Amino acid sequence: MSRIRAFLTHLSISAIVMGVALAVIFLIWYPAPYFEIAGAGNIVRLLITVHLIAGPLLTLILFRSGKPGLVFDLCCVALVQVSALTYGLSVIYSERPYYVVFAIDRFEVLARKEVDESAIADDRLKQKPWAEPIYAVASLPESMEEQQRLIDDVLKGKPDIERRPELWSVYSDKPEAVLRKATPLAEFSQARPDAAEYARQLIDDAEIGVNLAGLPVVGKDGDRVLVIETDDLKPVGLIPVDPWAPAPATNERSENGNPDA
């Protein structure tokens, strides 16, 4: 076998393995729009670099037909690839969006390890769908005494309501809590011209009669606007703008440099 043929064979095998891994990541572990929210891009790019580029290149460099120790060299390359892929996928899996919790006025996306599952009272919040996270609504305690105790706990560094499963309800049981804080997408695009193009595209793609609204979602590498359907409250898209930022100024300076002109 020639060096080029060995390289192409290694590249083909690596591409197939990487394709399967990416399909699992994007379709099951991080269904849209959670890949961007969870900030998993860096580790996926590292996986692709090591598995799809570095591995085959090492084969291209090391391969020489009849070379003593060639099998050992290729086994070492394969071992590095498999180790990197296994480690990377284990990290991606452990960080995958497992719970999406609405709390007060925003969504929080949480990995499974961030939640004390023993505190979950409703069994429906323990049944994770195959290819999407578990949705929940976190509510403040009813009594003022319990609310003050919660505030004291948070000030002491303990988790807030989005990480306290004992305060969670099933998402579909409290649609009013979500809709009360949601902003219709058309209204949001008028208030935020920097989001207008994204909002228009989502509105155009939506089926006739489907109403869309936006809510802040807290991500690992920044906050964005999660777009939901107002009927079933399920996410349909993401607008990559900071929901807390003020609307950009629309006044333009005149030619003489007067900002008030």
Are the CB atoms for 110 and 98 separated by under 8 Å?
yes
pLDDT in tens, 229-249: 999 898 999 999 999 888 776
d(Cα 208, Cα 195) in Å, to the nearest integer? 21
Is a pLDDT exceeding 50 seen at residue 252? Answer: no
**Residue 171 exposure: Cα atoms within 13 Å on the Cβ side:** 22
d(Cα 146, Cα 131) in Å, to the nearest integer? 36
Q: What is the CA radius of gyration of the chain?
A: 24
d(Cα 64, Cα 123) in Å, to the nearest integer? 59
d(Cα 99, Cα 38) in Å, to the nearest integer? 12
pLDDT band at 166 (very low <50, low <70, confident <90, very high): very high
d(Cα 49, Cα 8) in Å, to the nearest integer? 16
Is a pLDDT exceeding 60 seen at residue 107? Answer: yes
pLDDT band at 259 (very low <50, low <70, confident <90, very high): very low
Q: What is the pLDDT of residue 216?
A: 96
Query: What are the backbone dihedrals phi and psi of residue 211, each rounded to the nearest 5 degrees, phi first?
Result: -100, 135
Is a pLDDT exceeding 70 seen at residue 258? Answer: no
pLDDT in tens, 176-212: 999 999 999 989 988 899 999 999 999 888 888 789 9
Q: What is the pLDDT of residue 221?
A: 77
Is a pLDDT exceeding 90 seen at residue 18? Answer: yes
Is a pLDDT exceeding 90 seen at residue 257? Answer: no
Q: In one letter, which amino acid is 131?
A: A
Q: What is the pLDDT of residue 255?
A: 45
Would you say the C-alpha torsion 17, 18, 20, 24 has a positive or negative sign? positive
d(Cα 1, Cα 4) in Å, to the nearest integer? 8
pLDDT in tens, 35-52: 988 888 888 988 888 888
Q: What is the pLDDT of residue 249?
A: 67
Q: What is the dihedral of CA 57, 58, 61, 67, to 10 degrees?
A: -140
d(Cα 219, Cα 223) in Å, to the nearest integer? 5
Coil/strand/helix, residue 160: coil
